[in-house]
Amino acid sequence: MPLGKPAGVRCIQLADDARCRIFGQPERPAVCAGLTPSAEMCGSSQAHAMHYLSRLESLTQPAARP
């Protein structure tokens, strides 16, 4: 996504089967390649992982401008 992926927006590279279309390719963002999955992050279900990632996005979003 040329301007970055906004929080809460599905990545355009995420296929219907939840796989990254550009996995292993140089155009994959460094932040994606650098994110190491863990049991804490993934849990045992997609719902757990989505909740964890949503919270991560919320905690790291830029502060609102006055």
Residue 57 in contact with ligand SF4, rule: CB under 6 A: no
Lay out the site mask for ligand SF4 across 28-47 (x = CB under 6 A, - = otherwise).
Answer: xx--x---------------
C-alpha to C-alpha distance for 17 and 11, rounded to whole angstroms: 13
Torsion angle, CA of 44/33/15/52, rounded to 10 degrees?
40
Residue selected from 7, 9, 11, 42 as contacting ligand SF4 according to rule CB under 6 A: 11
Whole-number Å distance between alpha carbons of 4 and 25? 17
Among 6-14, 36-44, 47-55, 57-65, the segment contacting ligand SF4 (CB under 6 A): 6-14
Whichever of 26 and 66 has its CB closer to ligand SF4, that residue is 26
Judged by DSSP in three states, 14 sits in: strand
